Structure 1
Amino acid sequence: MLFRSFLRRCLSSSQQLWTFPQKVMLRLCRLASNRVLNGGPAVFISGPIPKADWRRSQVVVILGMHRSGTSLLTGTLQEAGLVLGDVVTSAPHNRKGNREALPIRALHDDLLHSSGGSWDHPPSQVIWKPSHRALRDDIVVGYQHECFWGFKDPRSLFCLEGWLEVLPELQPVAIFRHPEAVARSLRAREGMALADGLVLWTLYNQQLLYWMDQLDVPLLHFSSDLNAFCTDAVALIDRLNLPHRMSANSLQFPDAKLHHQSSSKLPLPRDVQDLYDQLLDRKFSTLSI
């Protein structure tokens, strides 16, 4: 369904979303048609990879569970000069958009699907096939002249290995949110049971902790305190050395009118609470720089 919707948007003349290289769009269309017609991804042969050009860029990936503030963090970094390319800037459940590049999201969705899972049932292992690597390479080439660029998609938590193959200096940053707040948001948006939302929160954030053990991943907390987020975001912007120096008061993307947080009411399962406590212990702050 995602790919059929994706193709419809590609072909719609009213959508001004498609500034990615034509090669990227052709690969996505071939992946889509192959899945719909044959039930599996096609195989492509990728050309030479200009890795030397890629290494001139600083690349940032924003990690985190769905409904956890990843859009807020991504939009804030974009305001500071991080190039995202063509991204979604408005959505029914997110008035400022989720800041995701649809070709990257479609790639991740196909990776999860071809590995036997989906965004809400992530597979235990994600297999990058030649078709996925070819599309990934073409996407990266489209950014090769940017000094600072990045992407955001919660599915990246399960797809990161393939990006690290070609972007070994990739800088992850991450954000997390209280598990009950995420579960309630998923229930409102997706009709997901609270218990299922807590399970999904656990799967994503266990994967986040895995990457934090492997890589240097500054971790921000998305809570009711928007001022605290802005303060930490400015410190992160400085740490990443993004082009535009910001202050907590000068940030425009964070909007208190769109910042909705509900107070915790339910006791959490012990494993969920323990995981949340671990994230709190490892969160980034201005004191850590």
Structure 2
Amino acid sequence: MSKTAILIVNGSAPGNKIPWLDCCLRQIERHSRSSNYQIYIANGDSEAEGRYAAATYPKVKVFSYRTEETNAKQHSAGLDFLIERLDKEIEYFITLDSDAFPIRDRWIEILTGFIETGVTAIGVYRDEFIRELEPFVHISCLCMRKQDYYNLGIRFADGYKPGQDFSYYASCEWLKRKASLVGLRRSNVNNRHFLIAGVYGNLIYHHGAGSRPPVFRTSEDPAQNEAVWKDLREAALTNLDELITGLIECPYDAIETLPIPTVRVKQQNMNLALINRDWQKYSQSLENTGQQKTEFTCGKGVFILGMHRSGTSCLTGMLEQYGLHLGEVSQGEKFNQKGNRESEVVMQINNELLLANGGYWYEPEEVQWVPPPLKQRIEQFKQNLGVGKLWGIKDPRMLFCLSAWFQPDTLLVGTFRHPYDVIYSLKDRANIVLPERDWQELWFRYNCQLISLYRLCPFPIVNFDWEPNRYRAAVQNLGRSLSLNIEREDFFDPELRHHLCGEEIPDPRARKLYSELVEIAECEEKKLQEVSKRPDRLQIIKLDLERSHSQLSQIKAFLE
């Protein structure tokens, strides 16, 4: 069995390290009983802490590490200091902050298992600072091969600059060198703070600012940070199991049954002013740089978004019946009596986009890069749909491929469905076999993407689980808002809705996400009802639909 080193830098600030370090070492010992590992600690000025750790935990090696540097610079250099002292038989290392520790058995094997499949590094996925920094893997828990670290040629200490997270620097440099990085997604069901007390991948707990004042670059409420920090620190140090149970809504001894949510970390090329959603400042920046909007000659487009088997075919068919132009699409198939209303051309393009970005429909990756030939095919397809027409495109993959299809007049509509109705339907038709947990994770990823787009620029979303009359009325109101003719023959047939199980959702993350989607759909339903109650408010609803006009077209410019 390969041996893994666990690296901890125990800094020089006195008086507040022993509780965290002891908790960290205790959790490692608790969840690593069958693992082959050695703990390396770079200890600061407190000799008592080093003696205590070495005497209490048999797999600990303590190295005296005294330096004039403090905080982040000391930490980054301390990790390099430990790596240089690793025994020859060490193949992997895992960095841990003293306030970060495992919460499930075989955590070492899980992390190194990713490396064995070709991943260069896997660690805590830090996207909480997205207003200022693109997402990256964080050193609070990061696993990689010792040899890969040397081969990449980037030392942790190289990345230290005042105000810069050296983990962020390392991630960016590794990506430039074509490293494969995977992040452990934050898996909290409940959050008392945007960063403090995070559970990542249902595998690692990271308290955050455990041994320093709770000051964060994107937070403007120091008093609130201090209060939450103290409360959660007390909870972690007195009854950690109870705290974790409350954060993820799962009994501690059942954590091993939960999925390990991950994300592939890529160079995003984000415009951070855009992500920050300061649209006034963003518009001013466009004016200052003289950047012009992209012009297209094709008509306005409507993109119907939603996961596979979530009512996208029904919604698209009804809008087509009301006058939305789809072009050549499937009109009937084995698993969809009236056709899935998808274009083979669009499906093929999106499959190739996903593959080019390291994914597929059942392992989706958000499209960051569009190969030039695919970009040309996309523009040609939209041109062929017709000039001056209100056209629509439906493909569940579009949730992850939308950046490649944006144009100034893009409109979005969405739909969702109970996770188990989706899962049972997919199992009946999909030509792949996945474990139950993976199907649940797939539903979660698609609908996380849907809700993320909604939060960026709200748009109508309908609930395919609504009873028939309510669902039909909502889609009719949506058709009115698009100036379509809803008096035409109705496409909707409630008898074709199958797998109406209505089961309780055991996964707390999926349960919470579904509840949020239900609330969003009800809110959007009320907006659309204004169309039938007050026809004079049609223009207001249309403007609401077109909130994405300026926002999404700007996103396109920056994703190109």
Q: TM-score, normalised by structure 2?
A: 0.40
Given the superposition, is the C-alpha separation of residues 265 and 238 from structure 1 closer, same or farther in structure 2, using an over 3 Å criterion? same
Q: How big is the shift at 1:147?
A: 1.7
| 1:277 and 2:530 aligned | no
Q: Which residue of 1 is the match for residue 365 of structure 2?
A: 123
Q: How big is the shift at 1:161?
A: 0.9
| Equivalent residues of 1:220, 1:232 under 8 A apart | yes
Separation in structure 2 between the aligned mates of residue 100 and residue 158 of structure 1, nearest angstrom: 16
State which drifts further: 114-123 or 208-217.
208-217
Separation in structure 1 between the aligned mates of residue 375 and residue 429 of structure 2, nearest angstrom: 32
Q: Which structure is richer in relative contact order (CA contacts within 8 A, separation 6 or more)?
A: 1
Q: How big is the shift at 1:213?
A: 1.4
| Equivalent residues of 2:326, 2:385 under 8 A apart | no
**Correspondence for 1:252 among 490, 499, 517:** 490
Q: Which residue of 2 is the match for residue 21 of structure 1?
A: none
Question: Which digits, 9 at most, give the CA deviation of each residue in 1:113-149, with x for residues without a partner?
Answer: 1111100000254421111111111111112324211
Please give the residue correspondences for 1:173-252 in structure 2 after superposition, counting only pairs within 5 Å: 173-190=413-430, 191-223=433-465, 225-242=467-484, 244-246=485-487, 251-252=489-490
Q: Which residue of 2 is the match for residue 148 of structure 1?
A: 390
Letter paired with 2:526: L
| Equivalent residues of 2:462, 2:525 under 8 A apart | no
Q: Which residue of 1 is the match for residue 310 of structure 2?
A: 68
Q: How big is the shift at 1:266?
A: 4.3
Q: How big is the shift at 1:82?
A: 0.2
Separation in structure 2 between the aligned mates of residue 270 and residue 63 of structure 1, nearest angstrom: 24
Please give the residue correspondences for 1:70-89 in structure 2 after superposition, counting only pairs within 5 Å: 70-89=312-331
Q: Which residue of 1 is the match for residue 526 of structure 2?
A: 287
Q: How big is the shift at 1:245?
A: 3.0
Separation in structure 2 between the aligned mates of residue 124 and residue 64 of structure 1, nearest angstrom: 14
Separation in structure 1 between the aligned mates of residue 380 and residue 322 of structure 2, nearest angstrom: 26
State which drifts further: 81-90 or 252-261.
252-261
Larger Rg: 2
Gaps of 5+ in 1: 1-49
Separation in structure 2 between the aligned mates of residue 81 and residue 124 of structure 1, nearest angstrom: 31
Given the superposition, is the C-alpha separation of residues 233 and 203 from structure 1 closer, same or farther in structure 2, using an over 3 Å criterion? same
State which drifts further: 167-176 or 277-286.
277-286
State which drifts further: 263-272 or 214-223.
263-272
Q: How big is the shift at 1:272?
A: 0.5
Given the superposition, is the C-alpha separation of residues 51 and 124 from structure 1 closer, same or farther in structure 2, using an over 3 Å criterion? closer
Q: TM-score, normalised by structure 1?
A: 0.76
Q: How big is the shift at 1:256?
A: 2.4
Separation in structure 2 between the aligned mates of residue 52 and residue 183 of structure 1, nearest angstrom: 39
Separation in structure 1 between the aligned mates of residue 413 and residue 492 of structure 2, nearest angstrom: 17
Question: Which digits, 9 at most, give the CA deviation of each residue in 1:144-169, with x for residues without a partner?
Answer: 324211110000000111111xx122
Secondary structure in 1 matching 2:297: helix
Separation in structure 1 between the aligned mates of residue 434 and residue 426 of structure 2, nearest angstrom: 6
Separation in structure 1 between the aligned mates of residue 458 and residue 481 of structure 2, nearest angstrom: 12
Given the superposition, is the C-alpha separation of residues 127 and 275 from structure 1 closer, same or farther in structure 2, using an over 3 Å criterion? same
Gaps of 5+ in 2: 1-293, 529-560
Letter paired with 2:419: P
Q: Which residue of 1 is the match for residue 506 of structure 2?
A: 268
| Equivalent residues of 1:84, 1:150 under 8 A apart | yes
Given the superposition, is the C-alpha separation of residues 236 and 224 from structure 1 closer, same or farther in structure 2, using an over 3 Å criterion? closer
Separation in structure 2 between the aligned mates of residue 138 and residue 227 of structure 1, nearest angstrom: 39
Given the superposition, is the C-alpha separation of residues 128 and 201 from structure 1 closer, same or farther in structure 2, using an over 3 Å criterion? same
Question: Which digits, 9 at most, give the CA deviation of each residue in 1:4-52, with x for residues without a partner?
Answer: xxxxxxxxxxxxxxxxxxxxxxxxxxxxxxxxxxxxxxxxxxxxxx935
| Equivalent residues of 1:122, 1:158 under 8 A apart | yes
| Equivalent residues of 1:111, 1:126 under 8 A apart | no
Q: How big is the shift at 1:188?
A: 1.7
Given the superposition, is the C-alpha separation of residues 133 and 107 from structure 1 closer, same or farther in structure 2, using an over 3 Å criterion? same
Q: How big is the shift at 1:261?
A: 3.8
Separation in structure 2 between the aligned mates of residue 102 and residue 173 of structure 1, nearest angstrom: 21
Secondary structure in 2 matching 1:282: helix
Secondary structure in 2 matching 1:283: helix
| Equivalent residues of 2:331, 2:339 under 8 A apart | yes
Q: How big is the shift at 1:185?
A: 1.1
**Correspondence for 1:51 among 292, 295, 299:** 295
Q: CA RMSD in A?
A: 1.8
State which drifts further: 79-88 or 226-235.
226-235
Letter paired with 2:336: N
| Equivalent residues of 2:309, 2:426 under 8 A apart | yes
Given the superposition, is the C-alpha separation of residues 146 and 91 from structure 1 closer, same or farther in structure 2, using an over 3 Å criterion? farther
| 1:168 and 2:408 aligned | yes
State which drifts further: 266-275 or 65-74.
266-275
Separation in structure 2 between the aligned mates of residue 225 and residue 261 of structure 1, nearest angstrom: 14
Letter paired with 1:176: F
Given the superposition, is the C-alpha separation of residues 252 and 280 from structure 1 closer, same or farther in structure 2, using an over 3 Å criterion? same
Q: How big is the shift at 1:225?
A: 1.2
Separation in structure 2 between the aligned mates of residue 82 and residue 261 of structure 1, nearest angstrom: 28
| Equivalent residues of 1:231, 1:286 under 8 A apart | no
Question: Which digits, 9 at most, give the CA deviation of each residue in 1:100-122, with x for residues without a partner?
Answer: 01111100000001111100000
Letter paired with 2:418: H
Given the superposition, is the C-alpha separation of residues 129 and 219 from structure 1 closer, same or farther in structure 2, using an over 3 Å criterion? same
